[in-house]
Amino acid sequence: MTDPHAIQPSELDQLPDRDPEETAEWQASLDAVAKAAGPHRAAYLMRRTLERAEGTGVALPKLLETDYVNTIPTAAEPSVPGDEEMESRITAWNRWNAAAMVTRGSKYGVGGHIATFASAAWLYETGFNHFFRGKEADGSGDQLYIQGHASPGIYARAFLDGRLNEAHLDNFRRESGGDGLPSYPHPRRLPWLWEFPTVSMGLGPLSAIYQARFNRYLTHRGVKDVSAAHVWAFLGDGEMDEPESTAALALAAREELDNLTFVINCNLQRLDGPVRANFKIVQELEAQFRGAGWNVIKTLWGSAWDELFQLDTTGALVRRLREVPDAQVQTYQTRDAAYIRQDFFGADPALVEMAKLLSDDKILECFHFSRGGHESRKVYAAYRAALAHKGAPTVILAQTVKGHTLGAGFASKNANHQMKKLTVDEFRTMRDLLGLPIADSAFTDGQVPYAHPGADSPEVRYLQERRAALGGPAPARRVHPVAPLPASADKAFAAFDKGSGSQNVATTMAFVRLVKDLVRDKETGKRWVPIVPDEARTFGMESLFPSLGIYSPKGQTYEPVDRDQLMYYKEAKNGQILNEGITEAGSMADFIAASTAYSTHGEPMIPFYIFYSMFGWQRTADQMWQLGDQLGRGFLIGATAGRTTLTGEGLQHADGHSPVIAATNPAALTYDPAFAYEVAAIVKDGLRRMYGEAAPGEDPNVFYYLTVYNEPLPQPAKPAGLGVDEGIVKGLYRFNTAESAGLTPAANAPRIQLLGSGTAIHWTLQAQKLLAEEWGVAADVWSATSWGELRRDALEADAALLRGEERVPYVRQALQGAEGPVLAVSDYMRQVPDQIAQWVEQDYTSLGADGFGLSDTRDAARRHFGVDAQSIVVAALAQLARRGEVKATAVKEARERYGL
């Protein structure tokens, strides 16, 4: 394994050696110490020497940084195979059409970004021409995380190779007509092209790391050998400020993910201005990645700089490059040669002498245009070195100019991220710079034309031949035909129908027991991917450790402290459980990779991610939107759910709102099951819909969010009768009536319908009994397994009515003919059950746990929020009193009796 912290000899080769003999003497002295006293003594002396140098003011890079020069010197660069001139022409066409697309769209006010792809064009084109493997070889190919703001350049390339036409480009960011192109990489909007959503910023790098890690997981577990797949993540230097961007760097290095390469486009600019105005972002990133254990390749300067480095016999040039802050480098991009001579070269007498040997044109060529990220040879060398490096992931820091080739009005301007168009004159200048054969007459009515060399042109044939040799078009998303997974044995689900008898069981434990049975299934058991963020014991999952094993690419290199126990901590190279430590973000990234394996690798996997419900949607909702955009499938399990059910933890842990957040996501099917048999029925239906035979009109590209509770309670048997299974899945069914509960109300007793979800149904059942025995009120109890699905169905019914179709919402059908008012109860804020209020024909009100959580017993917390059985009784009586069905004094009497 190459030490990623080591200063590579190639970096030193970039600088002329004024005294090779002296250098050799120092090296010989170090070799002699290492031989005589050992490498540890040699390392000790080197550290002390560096400390001495720093203390005496000798200008040295920090230990985790190298000089501000290319890692790979020009002499070590391999030649680029293929036709560099042809690739240059292809890149020119793509630059043009990317800019034309955004400019033409600007008349509609839809926005777009020109400058990002202009800076990164060669970073992509070099990869597409020589490195990025397509999916027509082994079905997986490479995984490409494209920087979101560069999407116009990717569309331009797809236009050149015939996958898009002018109508598509003209509908960039205008999707409602059917031929539109989404603003950024959105698989749900353009599922044949985009594989990974990379906006919001920061989610791309995090997901890329866990995708590379999941590729190893699939290979090590023997599901599919995807060791040839390489993950490429294209990022912006400003994007690296997002905490998610660097959250998992240590994981990638620790697990030696050499199947991963980050390419960071260091154009030194973010949205409003310089990334590090007074500092150097490249040096900062180098230190950060080296410190985390990555291999770092800097590709900073183009070939025009070679002459300057050869003239730098004193090291003054390298010192000056290291000290000039990024904002000043950006300024040089916009100033004339006289300014650069004075400000840059004038800072050191040796540089003044060097500048005398340089023409103004040479200075402008270096400071305005010549960046390593703009030359295919430099980029090719970096990519090849990245793939050759083993034992650690690689990051390529490629310096570019934001707005390159777009003209002086764009290049390095602080506002260029918000600049959406070029003038016709600017396009003519760009045409001449790129050498494109576009006649002035093509600019009709002031409109910039799209340009294409022809379907049978040398450029298009070359592009398509290169892609064919690499395994087909890229980027591309493929869903290979895969037979539906066989249904798991019914007995695994039916075991919960009979209830738990006298044993109290939490629904969290019911879910874990169900999974333990499902992972034993001979057909589908290996496809389950249990994911947990260092809380397996909290959720009762430690029994899975020895049977499934915790995935580790190193296996288990130690003897666990609990090896003599039945449920010992077992790590294994083929382990099935992904235990990510204390990182909900990392666990969600795992889930996204596993949930989309049906597309990425043609291997449907069944992930379930179990977490504190409070720290799921609250912390990682952005990733859950990413999951929905990526068309992921699987089960999210919000455990220790509810605002009053997790005792003692208090405000930060008391979840009273996750179903509200989940309800905002169109791909999330949100369930709040009350009983074990409901959990089993929902999981069974989810497996059918996502992995089996989806019904006509059902979208399999959804994910399920189930809230489960840690309160051990009696688990009843599933009620007999028609419609229970349908009601569980659709969101509502009648659990019992006052009569079936054995409460024998009077014939003319007032009646109310009590709807409860999750753990709240237990308080509702207590209230049902109190209402009958103490107040002569008959209450029917309904289990509302999903307020969200009831609302979704009702919204679809409303939309159908607007189309002239007669359709009654399911919630209205279910409650049709139910006597009396409706009172809905939840362990969440009232906004959760109130989702269905407008479609309930009966008088409707609700109870919920609104406000901040608090630390106390469950009973005290429920009394505090007014959702315990006695509070339900008072609310029910108040509702009936308003209707004149009970005396108003009954409400006051109940409050006093129960101490409310």
- Tens-place pLDDT, residues 808-858: 999 999 999 999 999 999 999 999 999 999 999 999 999 999 999 899 999
Inter-residue contact 687 to 606 (CB < 8 Å): yes
Instruction: Write b or e for each residue in 642-672: b if 16 or more Cβ atoms lie within 10 A of its Cβ, otherwise e.
Output: bbbbbbeeeeebbbbbbbbbbbebebbbbbb
The whole-angstrom separation of Cα 559 and Cα 547 is: 17
How many CA atoms lie less than 13 Å away from 155 in the CB half-sphere?
A: 34
- The DSSP annotation for 407-470 comes to -TTTTT-TTGGG-----HHHHHHHHHHHT----GGG-GGGPPPP----TTSHHHHHHHHHHHHT
DSSP letter at 269 equals: B
CA 526 to chain centroid, in Å, comes to: 25
Structural tokens at position 602: 């043609």
Q: Please, which residues have CB within 8 angstroms of residue 388's CB and are 6 or more apart in sequence?
A: none
Sites in the chain below the pLDDT cut of 70: 1-16, 61-62, 412-420
Amino acid identity for residue 380 in this structure: Y
Helix (H, G, I), strand (E, B) or coil at 399: strand
Q: Which residues pair with 298 in a beta bridge?
A: 397
| Neighbour count for residue 211 (Cβ, 10 Å) | 27
- The DSSP annotation for 526-556 comes to GGEEEEESS-TTTTT-TTHHHHH-EE-TT--
pLDDT of residue 248: 97
Inter-residue contact 858 to 827 (CB < 8 Å): no
Q: What are phi and psi of 468, to 5 degrees?
A: -60, -40
Residue 853: closest CA among 705, 671, 701, 652: 652
DSSP run (H or E) holding 669: strand 668-671
Inter-residue contact 411 to 110 (CB < 8 Å): no
pLDDT of residue 5: 36
DSSP run (H or E) holding 782: strand 778-783
Inter-residue contact 740 to 713 (CB < 8 Å): no
pLDDT of residue 43: 83
How many CA atoms lie less than 13 Å away from 549 in the CB half-sphere?
A: 16
Q: Which residues pair with 751 in a beta bridge?
A: 778
SS (H, E, C) 164-180: CCHHHHHCECCCCCCCC
- List, edge to edge, every strand of the sheet that includes 606-612: 578-579, 528-532, 606-612, 634-639, 703-707, 668-671
- Tokens 């539109």 sit at which residue? 180
In terms of phi and psi (left: phi > 0; alpha: psi -120 to 50; beta: otherwise), the region of 817 is left
The whole-angstrom separation of Cα 508 and Cα 676 is: 9
The whole-angstrom separation of Cα 420 and Cα 427 is: 13
Helix (H, G, I), strand (E, B) or coil at 607: strand
The whole-angstrom separation of Cα 697 and Cα 720 is: 29
pLDDT of residue 416: 60
DSSP letter at 621 equals: H
The whole-angstrom separation of Cα 198 and Cα 329 is: 29
CA–CA distances in Å: residue 307 to residues 7, 15, 99, 104, 376:
23, 11, 33, 41, 19
pLDDT of residue 15: 64
Peptide bond into 475 cis (omega under 30): yes
Structural tokens at position 310: 């050869």
